[in-house]
Structure formats: C-alpha cells, structure tokens
Amino acid sequence: MKKRDKNSQLEMLEGAKSMGVRAATSVSAGAAVGIGNVLSSSIHSVVQNSSLAKQSFGYAILGFALTKAIALFAPIMAFLISSVFRSKDWSDPSQQPNYRAHGPWKPSAEANQRIARISAHLHPSNVQMEESSILGRTNCRAKGGAPGFKVAILGAAGGIGQPLAMLMKMNPLVSVLHLYDVVNAPGVTADISHMDTGAVVRGFLGQPQLESALAGMDLVIIPAGVPRKPGMTRDDLFNINAGIVKTLCEGIAKCCPNAIVNLISNPVNSTVPIAAEVFKKAGTYDPKRLLGVTMLDVVRANTFVAEVLGLDPREVDVPVVGGHSGVTILPLLSQVKPPCSFTPEETEYLTKRIQDGGTEVVQAKAGAGSATLSMAYAAVKFADTCLRGLRGDAGIVECAFVASQVTELPFFASKVRLGRTGAEEVYQLGPMNEYERVGLEKAKNELAESIQKGISFIKK
C-alpha cells in the first residue's frame, strides 16, 4: 500500500512539472523549463513526507497560475509603455529624459570632444578654418593622435611649405600640425589631413587667423615669402620678405613667445636679425630659440662631397659655417667626416658648387621655381633635430645661423648643440686651413652688411 502511495506521489510530481513546462511555453521555452525544474525540485524535497505532497501539488497549481498571468499581462504592459513614449515630443527639451528642473540638458566636456572629433572629420573646411568652431573651443585632438609636439608652418601653401607640411605630417614627434598661409590654406590642409599618420592637421587662412595658428606652439617653421627667380639675388628678396617676416614674428611674440623658431625665409642673413629685433621690441627675445635654417647648405655639401669620394651621402658630414648666401656659405672641407683630403682643384670645385647650389636649381628650372623640394627636405631634417632636442635627447648637433660670439659678428652659422631650450651651446669653428681662413674673411665682410640691413629695417 505504501509503495502504491509513493508511486502515486511520484506520478503527481511529474504531472506538476509537466504543467509548469506547458504553462510557461507561451512566454519563453527557457523560462518554462526553469519553472518546471523549480517546481520539481521543491516537491522532491518533501516527497518523503506524504502530508506535504498535497501542498506541493498546490504550489504547482500556483506556479501555473502565475505564469499564465505573466503571459497575459506582458503584452498589455508593453503596449502601455510604448504608447507613453510615442506621446512624448522629444524635440521639446522639457520632454527629454535627462531634463532637469533648472534647465535643459547640457553635454559634458567628453561629449563636446566627441562631437568636435566627428565634426572635424565630416566638415574639415568649415571647422578647421573658423575660430568660433567647436574644434577651436575644445582644442580637441582626433582619437588615436600621437603624443608629441605642436608645430606651426607659416607659409604652408607655398612651394616649400607644401612638401614641408607633408613631411612634417609624417614625423612621429608631431602631435598637432598647424598650417597657415594667406592663400590656399584650406586646400592644403584638406589634402594633408587625409594622410593616416598620428599628427592632427588644422588650417588657418589669412591675417585674422594668425594668432589662432600660433597659440600654444612648441616649434614654428617659417618658409613664408616670395621665391627666388632667375636673375634675382637674395638681396632682391629683401624688400618683399622683410615685411612678411616682421608681421609673422610679431604674432609669435604675442602668442607663443617660448616657441623655437626655425626661420627659412630668404635672405636668412637679414631675416634672422629682423626677427631678433622684433622679439627685442616685444620683450620676448631669447637668442637660443631663434634659429636660421642653413641645413640645405649642409645637405648639399654632404651630397657633393659624397659624389667626389664615391660614398653614401648619409655617411658624410661636412660642417658649413658663415651665412646662407653666396660667399657667406663656407664649407669646412678640412673637417669632413670620414676624414679625407682633397686636391686644390677639388676644394675649389666643391666650395663653388656648394655656394652656388641655389642658383644651379633656379637656372635648371628655367623660371619655374627655385630649390623648393630639397629645401623642404632640409627644413624637415633640421626641425626633427629641434624636436629631438626638445624631447631631451642628448648629443644633437647641427649647423644653424644663430646669435653668436664665435666671431665679431652678432650672428653667424656654426655647429650648435640643440636641447630643450633651443641652441644651448654654440661651438667654435675649429682648425681651418689657409683656403678656409681666406674664405672666412670674405664671408664676414658680406655677412656684416646683410646683418646690418636687417637690423636697420626694424630700427628705421
């Protein structure tokens, strides 16, 4: 009898589990199995007590009723909720879920940055060219932008400026690249900005946006000015380019007085003294931070000497001192590395070709331009050494036209050690042979006139 009662109880348990499963199937197959299992587990725990078996059956009936109720009322609740949401006018700020009593919801700083990043990519010409844009207000950097330095190129749409901008965009030490010019800056900016490198590119057009282009920069490179044309000497460039350099340096003094300035605009022998006088007037002059770029003379010297010696130019190092035009360019061939000797004919040939390298290109282009590509390469090579110096790298030595006490002249090109504050040490010229000593005197005579011309332009 007891065995039969126990069998009846077990049948009742299985029936209860089956009812739970069937009842919940209309809601969710997974949920039904769970309910059936719970009911079965609960009843098994009391199966040994026949007095509780009836209670277990009651629980099963209760579970069945609950699942039926859920299945019935869930669609009704979903309909009511959706009706409420459809009745809201979400264009009304007061209807928005994050609306607060004191006013409409305002985006967080992080939200603003995300909006700015999206806007910068979708509308580069509008966002990057307008000072009032959200990009300007948030000073956002595109996601994935590399850490590094902020660099501005003044004259970025010119013959030197465009390849210079492209090469600087490729430099891993640059995080933000500002491209400024009085014409064509939007097009150059859009073009360069499509390159998949870490630097974020922003463009600035015309005098009203000069200050925005310069704000917060670590390094400013100035290739701005008119190019050399056939029959035009570097002094012929002076009257045009002197005014351009003056205006740009006034902006630097106001917006980024601590930036390192790499001055390319010709004639460098005069434009560097002009920049110095502008900074002195503004009370921001730091001679270590003003560097005239003479790297192209070094690049040419390395190339031409390597050709004569049959070496790779990258293995050659020729110090070039003095200035950056004609006879003021003095290659010290006696100090070439690796050490070597030249015949008098080779010395004369190499010196003359290095001094006239710019004229060689102007004549070869036959009125179509000057040395823009090699100058851009040399400028980027020098800018990279400046950035590595800013980073704190040791042993960074290059030639540059700087304030100097190497000679009696206030400015002179020689080897300098670059560091966090610019040209931290200016080296002496070292031993020279007779040919070089004679060349030095010629260089100083012409260089003195060019320097004074630049100083007089500001003081007149």
Q: How far is CA 395 from the centre of its chain?
A: 25
Q: Rounded to whole angstroms, what are the CA distances from 23 to 74, 126, 201?
A: 15, 62, 64
Task: Compute the distance between CA of residue 215 and CA of residue 401 in angstroms, rounded to an integer.
Answer: 25
| Contact in structure between 399 and 414 (CB atoms under 8 Å) | yes
> Pairing between strand 411-419 and 422-426?
antiparallel
* Among 44, 123, 194, 324, the one annotated catalytic: 324
121 given a catalytic annotation: no
End-to-end CA distance of the chain: 128
What is the sign of the dihedral through the CA atoms of 431, 434, 439 and 442? positive
Identify whether the C-beta of residue 27 lies closer than 8 Å to the C-beta of residue 74. Answer: yes
**Cβ neighbours, 10 Å, residue 196:** 6
Q: From CA 214, how far away is CA 151, in angstroms rounded?
A: 9
Helices marked H in 221-282: 238-255, 268-282
Nearest in space to 264 (alpha carbons), one of 148, 72, 400: 400
Of 309, 362, 369, 357, the closest CA to residue 331 belongs to: 357
The letter for the amino acid at 38 is: V
Q: Which two tokens stand for residue 410?
A: 């206030």
Name the residues annotated as catalytic.
324
